[in-house]
Structure 1
Amino acid sequence: MWTSKADASLKKGFDDAIEAAYGNGRDGELENLSDLFSPAALDGYQQALLAGLDGSSDATIDVAWIDKRPIAKLARSGAGAELGDMMLVVHERDLVGSIRKSRACLFEVKQSPGETIPPVPVTKGKSTENQFRILSAWPTLYGLKATGSNHTYLLQNVDTHPAVTIGGIAAHAWYVAVKPPSKSGAVTARPWMAAPAVRGVDFHHTLGDLFQACAQGNSLYHPVTKDMDVGREFVPGHTLQNPPSWDALINAIISVCNKYELPEHLFGPAPGKRYLRGPVRPRVSLALLAGLNGAALANALAGTSLAVSAVLCVLFVLYGRRMNRNPYRDFPFWRFDYVRRAMLSRRKHFPVLIFNVFHGDGEPVKESSPYWN
């Protein structure tokens, strides 16, 4: 479960990791965005999540990406608009890994021309307006493509409007802007800022605020928009609605990540998909195997020798606590670093950051969909 101080610790942990990853704003929004996916930054995000959870819970980070960007079209003819520059997904799970609920939020990334960030949509131009129209109003989309040149639609006639009881469409997407380096040479304060996709609002929150709110399913208060959700819940693997909805839209994007292989010239034969899963931490797996808590611990040790029982107890204490270690020690972290290198080299990748939060309270619940196993 989240601790009573989780809000503050998550915000600080995320902001610290984001500021440490800041690329000084010299090379545009895409290079700065790639720095948010470095192994050091991913490690920082995981440590932030762990700091906000009690000892019975856990967290891992996954990364996925697709080539080019998802392109949304409002009509059969005419240009489409990019559906943002990245996506944050949060899966709240029980300790078995079964999904309790999932959220997703699209981010449109902008480079600020100065220390003071212009109000949403930050820049001007026809393409900016087309994109803002989608991200702010979410009209019915004629179609969604995996890339701009792909003639096959992933989805068509997509209606993303939520029911009144679920919340407003402004939660679907947020604008994030990165500042240029300080002219004085001083450290840039709060280099990444965020604002809802509402015309004319200022950038009132940090990117760490967004990560914290989406991770916990909280809203953020903005002086203009008041309480605003960050992301919207979706059902993983559920794509059969007619017409397709927000669920289908998010699943279609992630399905592209799972569809394509990693490049063999970098990763060798059978390199795997472009959905890279973080390592499973030993504490969770041990607790699941033995059910080591209270009476379950006594039952697990029944019939064993005193020496064996002592060893098992020591293991439980060691692994039953959150371990402060690099989460990529047992995983080839250079696979994650490829995301950053690929974004730098081709500059047209759409990355997806996935927070897996394992809550240790309560009984395991039914998996939402086998798609995520």
Structure 2
Amino acid sequence: MRISINQKMVADIDALTRRHAIATSTKGELKQLSTLFGPTYLKALRHLLQRSFVQTRGARYDVTIRLAWIDKIPLADIASEPERTELGDAVLFAFDELVLPNGKGPGITRARATLLQAKVTQTLNQITKPTVPISPMKGSTKKEFDLLSKWPRFDLFKASNSDVALAQDVDLRGKKAGTLPFGWYVAAPRLKSSAKKADTSHWKSWWMAGPPILGQACDVTFGGLLQAFFAETPLPHAGNLEVGATFCCKSYPPAPDLLEDWDRVCAEIIALVESSKAPQSLFGNDPPSRMSAMESIGFPAQSGALSNGISSSLAFSIGPKAHPAQIPRRESRGRQFLRRILNILVRRRRIPVVIVHTKLIEGF
């Protein structure tokens, strides 16, 4: 991906996340997670990530980042389980897009996503040193862990009461062995009563991440999670796993019926969240789309195909501040003189004149 985060920026992202999230430190996991969707936080995060954008000489690329709220939708229906299981609470999406000088994009060149399963610490031990799966291994926590750690075949449904599957026989594992990188845990401390006295020095960032490996420490900071996600490199100290995986997305939104497995899951999630509202209990009486948390920030509309295909999105785009084809240029003195002469000729003799403006576009 066209974002390269250095260690200084990791620390800046961690500090930013902690400052914004600490206000909800006594709340549950979903309320705490909702702070990551807040416009103030996302605007500040975008400002940091803009500095990490990697541009290619002679071509313009944009990176569009989206955060989807997927609590309770969609759900995986596993043959061996009596109840359906959620895939996570949020999804981080990123899209690289090549944009031509005419403002149109030939297509998305790369797309990536990771599922995020959010948990808050329940005990003093977990606050001191959180380990996967953070919450006690029972009920929904066990079902979620079994899904993220094993990835058996499943059918994908919109909700618990849906009759028709969105996709059948989804196989994310294929022939791959071991733990897969599609979903990660993110943990936050819940500081209540005596828990406030616990040692919280571990929490360099308010959200700390860990792979779906039983007992694995959640010691990847939120900035480190983003760094690994965009770098597409495995983390040796976290199961040697990447954060998320690439998926096929030639245009936006991708057509689910033409895709399968991980590509299909990502496409179905995009289709669902674009048309669904976030829960009122967390986002207020007039909640945004599950993919519209950044809409109110007021970032400039992108000129590429990704943004043109979607009028309202939960996206912010990161790209160069200016591109040769888009920089307004002051008219030279010679051109001004020529224009005056031509204007005189036109007024006197009514000669039809066409003035052609030329610009040098590097790489095209």
User: Into which bin does the TM-score normalised by the smaller protein fall?
Assistant: 0.5 to 0.7
Per-residue deviation, residues 148-181 of structure 1 (Å, max 9, x unmatched): 22223211111112565xx965210111110133
Aligned residue number for residue 312 of structure 2: none
The alignment yields a C-alpha RMSD, in angstroms, of 4.1
- In 1, are the aligned partners of 2:67 and 2:93 still within 8 Å (CA)? no
Q: Structure 1's 176 and 65: CA in aligned 2 closer, same or farther, altered over 3 A?
A: closer
1:183 to 172, 197, 215: 197
Aligned residue number for residue 221 of structure 1: 236
Q: Tell me by how many angstroms 1:129 deviates.
A: 1.8
Q: Tell me by how many angstroms 1:189 deviates.
A: 4.3
Give, in whole Å, the separation in 2 of the partners of 1:260 and 1:186.
37
Runs of 5+ consecutive residues of structure 1 not aligned to the other structure: 309-360, 364-373
Give, in whole Å, the separation in 2 of the partners of 1:289 and 1:76.
58
Q: Is it true that 1:204 corresponds to 2:219 in the alignment?
A: yes
Aligned residue number for residue 11 of structure 2: 12
Aligned residue number for residue 82 of structure 2: 78
Q: Is it true that 1:107 corresponds to 2:123 in the alignment?
A: no
Runs of 5+ consecutive residues of structure 2 not aligned to the other structure: 304-317, 340-361
Q: Tell me by how many angstroms 1:215 deviates.
A: 2.4
- What one-letter code is carried by the residue in structure 2 that aligns with 1:50? Q
Q: Tell me by how many angstroms 1:289 deviates.
A: 7.9
- In 1, are the aligned partners of 2:69 and 2:290 still within 8 Å (CA)? yes
Taking structure 1 as the reference length, the TM-score comes to: 0.66
- What one-letter code is carried by the residue in structure 1 that aligns with 2:325? A
Taking structure 2 as the reference length, the TM-score comes to: 0.68
- Please give the secondary structure, in 2, of the residue aligned with 1:221: coil
- In 1, are the aligned partners of 2:273 and 2:289 still within 8 Å (CA)? yes
Q: Tell me by how many angstroms 1:70 deviates.
A: 1.8
- Please give the secondary structure, in 2, of the residue aligned with 1:6: coil
- Please give the secondary structure, in 2, of the residue aligned with 1:128: helix
Q: Tell me by how many angstroms 1:68 deviates.
A: 3.7
- In 2, are the aligned partners of 1:117 and 1:179 still within 8 Å (CA)? no
Q: Tell me by how many angstroms 1:279 deviates.
A: 3.2
Percent identity of the aligned residues?
A: 28
Aligned residue number for residue 333 of structure 1: none
- What one-letter code is carried by the residue in structure 2 that aligns with 1:216? A
- What one-letter code is carried by the residue in structure 1 that aligns with 2:34? S
Give, in whole Å, the separation in 1 of the partners of 2:235 and 2:114.
14
- Alignment map for 1:1-373 (pairs within 5 Å): 6-22=5-21, 23-53=23-53, 59=63, 61-65=65-69, 68-75=72-79, 78-96=82-100, 97=105, 98-113=107-122, 114=124, 115-123=127-135, 124-141=137-154, 143-161=155-173, 170-181=180-191, 182-183=196-197, 189-222=204-237, 225=239, 227-236=240-249, 237=254, 239-240=256-257, 244-260=260-276, 274-276=290-292, 278-280=299-301, 287=322, 290=325, 304-305=335-336
Aligned residue number for residue 342 of structure 2: none
Per residue, is there more strand in 1 or in 2? 1
- Please give the secondary structure, in 1, of the residue aligned with 2:82: coil
Rg bigger for which structure? 2
